[in-house]
Amino acid sequence: MPRLGWKGTRTDLAGADLDGIDALRIALLFADEHPTKHVVIAGHTDTVGADKPNVALSERRALSVHAFLSGQKENWASISFENETVADWQAIMTWATAEFGWDSFPGPIDGVMGPLTEEGRRRFRTRYNETFSASLAIEGPFSFDDWLAAYDLYVRALARRLEVDDADVAQLQSGVSTGSRPFLACGERFPAVASGVDNHASAANRRVEIVFYDPENPPDLEAVPDGAGLYGPDADVRRIDLVLRPGPRPEIPTISLVRVRVAVGGGFREGTSFSPRLAESAELLIRLSGLTSSAPSTVVRVDIGRATSTGLTRVARVEQPVVLTGPTMEVPIRWHGRSTAAVAQELSARQTRDHNSGSDVPVPMPAIPSGTPATHGVYVVEEVSLLSGGAPLASHRPADQQLGVPTLVNLVFNGAWSTDLAAFGLAAFSADLQEALRRFGGRDYAVRTAAVGDRINVKFFTGTVGNGDCMRVSVGGNRSSGMFGSTPDGPAPLSDNLYAIHDGLSADITAFPGTFMLFNTPAGSIGPTDQALFQSTFAPLGVGATANAGSPGVAAPRTVGPSGVSGATDAVDAGNVTVVLDDDGLATVSSTSPAVVPPARATAIQGAMRAFVRMVGNTINHEVAHGLGVVSRVRGNNSLTITGTTLTSPLDGDGEARAPITGFRHCRHPTAGQRITIVGARWQHPGKAVHQHAADNSYTRSELDLPTVHGAFRTRLSAAGSIV
């Protein structure tokens, strides 16, 4: 730490609550109050190393302090640049974080240019540009211009401590007078501690002393070696102890992200997933502290981006003016999910395992035109900032705070829906079954784990959102040929087996509930007990033994007999039971009038509703999985080229109608009977997940075990900014 004195005086600041900026502040104030005095700068080293290099090192230290104290900006920057180390810059960025609240922390001061230091450098330059209206290059190694910026920052810190403007600091610097010897290179000859001890590492000895003296009675600055006239045994110096106090340090405002919730309609729900296309938004609660009412034009800024192969790409910047009402306050900031700048098609920072080649491949992310809703995926709350008059006062980078924008799946119940329900005897519970299928489709798909970063965010709904903004699933009808659902068709060039880069836009899917009548016939059954299980589930609701996919018919009407109630459900059933759906859309049916709807009848309705939802829900999930990029055939149009890199779906099948994909499931349905089957899904009762091999018309059973996949959908479909 520098030492101060005058007329040969030096005062040890060790133990005082002072830093280098305070030392310079006091020196400038003293020079201003005593304009006739001269200053000499004495550089020192410890006793580690040889004498000659230490003399050169002490000279550089003295030159640097002299250049700064006398306002020689470019000279100071040149000296610093010629001798810079990574550790120097790590110390400067750490200091800027503490002094100004800049989010430029470089990690430990270890002299290693690692990722944290590189990011700290980017943020240091960004903050400097914003604060000083400058144009430092954000990328690239440290340069001479960076040292000019550091000089400006030191001047700004001095001005704050002196409670003056930057220009006033320059005026004080111009008043510093030097004699014939403005600096001395003392080397290791005059240690402050451990005198006579060689090879002694000491921070106290690695110092620069600022010495003021009266030119009418100067010390012998020409004495040999340098410094002998100040520190040598023959020096005629009178020392005076100084009373030094730290300068005022303004309270540094702080900003932090407290909470994220989702605004839906006129209310809120907890969570971080929202759909801009459904007029939902994310509310970020920002806490400000250490505020003063004098800060003009105060604005809270939130930057939201996505991680790409070349760094963070900003997707949106949300700014909101605030009126400061006290030293601490909380400000809600709303992001409606729209981009504020055009974002190009990019490659993600993540890679995924290609199940075909076994290698890791880049992950694509879609382009987002300016002003449009963000595409599906995970977005990063990059930074929250507090600005005054356009200059940053405080900033904060939340740790791993993400916002999810789901792929929308619009369940449209077509004209055949009511016919299907009539065939299954479930017509009285149409509204309940529609909601059950929306919940069964649910919030997320998962790969490997249920951690947030491993989820594919999907929202099932029924609404008026256009087909260009969602995957649309039309539910209703039957195919006697055995088709339970149709593969999505979408925009060129991927008209079949949609690739996820297209955000699922304009994808049309159809689910055929009536096709499941196949299981009411021996020819349509797969396992030896399928027909019996189907009939035991739906016969109590009036489904006859002759009903089939080609001629489903209508379930027999409700009747009351000596053995109880049977036949299709009607208004009597609906009016005398309660239906409670769990988060997965599975119903619990309870009778409110046992004389009208006996408990056995309620149990039969419950079993039929659950079986229907599992059958139809798994079909929908199966086809939606195709829309998310799970494909069963390698096709020429399943490719995409971004910046010269051509990508194909990492989850392509084997070129036939089979898909050797494991590990992809609807994460809210962990049992075997609720998993997504990839090809030829049929009856989905518990414990049975059957794939049809079209090549030989044989059937095999397959467990889609979660841990076996190598992160394919985690990285492809939840990388920041896109389900990819």
Where is pLDDT greater, at 137 or 326? Answer: 137
Q: Are 422 and 568 in contact (CB under 8 A)?
A: yes
Where is pLDDT greater, at 486 or 189? Answer: 189
In this predicted structure, the answer to whether residue 556 has a pLDDT above a threshold of 90 is yes
Q: What pLDDT is attached to residue 470?
A: 82
| Backbone φ and ψ of 176, nearest 5° | -80, 125
In this predicted structure, the answer to whether residue 337 has a pLDDT above a threshold of 70 is yes
Q: What pLDDT is attached to residue 242?
A: 57
pLDDT confidence tier of residue 450, bands split at 50, 70 and 90: very low
Q: Are 690 and 526 in contact (CB under 8 A)?
A: yes
Q: Which two tokens stand for residue 387?
A: 């600005």
Average pLDDT over every residue of 265-274: 85
- What is the 3-state composition of the chain as percent helix, strand, coil, each rounded to the nearest 5? 30, 25, 45
Q: What pLDDT is attached to residue 688?
A: 28
Task: Find the length of the chain.
Answer: 724
In this predicted structure, the answer to whether residue 449 has a pLDDT above a threshold of 70 is no
In this predicted structure, the answer to whether residue 494 has a pLDDT above a threshold of 90 is no
pLDDT confidence tier of residue 480, bands split at 50, 70 and 90: confident
d(C-alpha 564, C-alpha 639), whole Å: 59
In this predicted structure, the answer to whether residue 704 has a pLDDT above a threshold of 60 is no
Task: Spell out where 462-576 has E strands.
Answer: 471-475, 507-511, 559-561, 564-566
Average pLDDT over every residue of 139-165: 94
pLDDT confidence tier of residue 398, bands split at 50, 70 and 90: confident
In this predicted structure, the answer to whether residue 505 has a pLDDT above a threshold of 60 is no
d(C-alpha 154, C-alpha 99), whole Å: 10
In this predicted structure, the answer to whether residue 555 has a pLDDT above a threshold of 80 is yes
Q: Are 138 and 160 in contact (CB under 8 A)?
A: no
Q: What percent of the chain has pLDDT over 90?
A: 44
Task: Spell out where 629-717 has E strands.
Answer: 639-642, 645-648, 664-665, 690-693, 698-701
Q: Which two tokens stand for residue 570?
A: 């009607």
Q: Which two tokens stand for residue 40?
A: 């000499």
**Which of 472-476, 500-504, 577-581 is least confident?**
500-504
In order of 405, 440, 477, 518, 584, the CA distances from 610 in angstroms are: 29, 10, 19, 18, 10
Average pLDDT over every residue of 669-675: 32
Q: Which is it for the CA torsion 20, 23, 24, 25, positive or negative?
A: positive
In this predicted structure, the answer to whether residue 677 has a pLDDT above a threshold of 50 is no
Q: Which is it for the CA torsion 260, 263, 268, 269, positive or negative?
A: negative
Q: Which two tokens stand for residue 114?
A: 């690692």
Q: Which is it for the CA torsion 294, 297, 300, 304, positive or negative?
A: negative
| Backbone φ and ψ of 598, nearest 5° | -60, 155
Residue 290: closest CA among 322, 258, 327: 327
Q: Which two tokens stand for residue 110?
A: 């270890």
Residue 153: closest CA among 177, 134, 176: 134
Where is pLDDT greater, at 65 or 357? Answer: 65
Residue with tokens 């520098």: 2
Query: Greatest CA separation found in the chain?
Result: 126
Q: Are 577 and 597 in contact (CB under 8 A)?
A: yes
pLDDT confidence tier of residue 167, bands split at 50, 70 and 90: very high
In this predicted structure, the answer to whether residue 69 has a pLDDT above a threshold of 90 is yes
Q: What pLDDT is attached to residue 169?
A: 95
Q: What pLDDT is attached to residue 668?
A: 33
d(C-alpha 650, C-alpha 360), whole Å: 9
d(C-alpha 406, C-alpha 280), whole Å: 11
Average pLDDT over every residue of 143-163: 94
In order of 476, 573, 585, 689, the CA distances from 437 in angstroms are: 13, 21, 6, 19
Average pLDDT over every residue of 147-165: 93
d(C-alpha 706, C-alpha 112), whole Å: 40
d(C-alpha 588, C-alpha 582), whole Å: 8
Average pLDDT over every residue of 367-381: 87
* Backbone φ/ψ region at 187: left (φ over 0), alpha (ψ -120 to 50), beta: left
Q: What pLDDT is attached to residue 712?
A: 26
In this predicted structure, the answer to whether residue 439 has a pLDDT above a threshold of 80 is yes
pLDDT confidence tier of residue 454, bands split at 50, 70 and 90: very low
Where is pLDDT greater, at 636 or 338? Answer: 338
d(C-alpha 335, C-alpha 356), whole Å: 40
| Strand 377-388, strand 402-405: pairing | antiparallel
**Most confident of the ranges 191-200, 344-353, 595-604:** 595-604
Q: What pLDDT is attached to residue 139?
A: 93
In tens, the pLDDT along 199-253 reads: 999 989 999 999 999 999 899 999 999 999 999 888 877 766 555 666 666 677 8
Q: Which two tokens stand for residue 233?
A: 């045994």
| Strand 38-43, strand 178-185: pairing | parallel
CA angle 39, 44, 46 (to 5 degrees): 165
In this predicted structure, the answer to whether residue 667 has a pLDDT above a threshold of 60 is no
Where is pLDDT greater, at 248 or 513? Answer: 513
pLDDT confidence tier of residue 689, bands split at 50, 70 and 90: very low
Residue 49: closest CA among 185, 188, 186: 188
| Strand 444-447, strand 664-665: pairing | antiparallel
**Which of 381-395, 433-447, 451-465, 703-717 is least confident?**
703-717
d(C-alpha 166, C-alpha 154), whole Å: 10
Q: What pLDDT is attached to residue 698?
A: 28
Q: What pLDDT is attached to residue 468?
A: 74
- One DSSP character per residue, 627-693 reads HTT--SS--TTSEEEETTEEEE-TT---SSS-----SEE-TT--SGGGSPPSSS-----TT--EEEE
| Strand 471-475, strand 407-413: pairing | parallel
Where is pLDDT greater, at 609 or 485? Answer: 609
Write b or e for each residue in 233-272: b if 16 or more Cβ atoms lie within 10 A of its Cβ, otherwise e: eeeebeeeebebeebeeeeebbbebeebbbbeeeeeeeeb
Q: What is the mean pLDDT of the chain?
A: 78
Q: What pLDDT is attached to residue 703?
A: 23
Residue with tokens 């609906």: 574
Q: How far is CA 464 from the centre of its chain?
A: 30
Average pLDDT over every residue of 12-34: 76
Q: What pLDDT is attached to residue 233?
A: 87
d(C-alpha 233, C-alpha 213), whole Å: 19
- Helix (H) / strand (E) containing 41: strand 38-43
CA angle 344, 126, 66 (to 5 degrees): 155
d(C-alpha 180, C-alpha 208), whole Å: 19
Q: What pLDDT is attached to residue 16?
A: 44
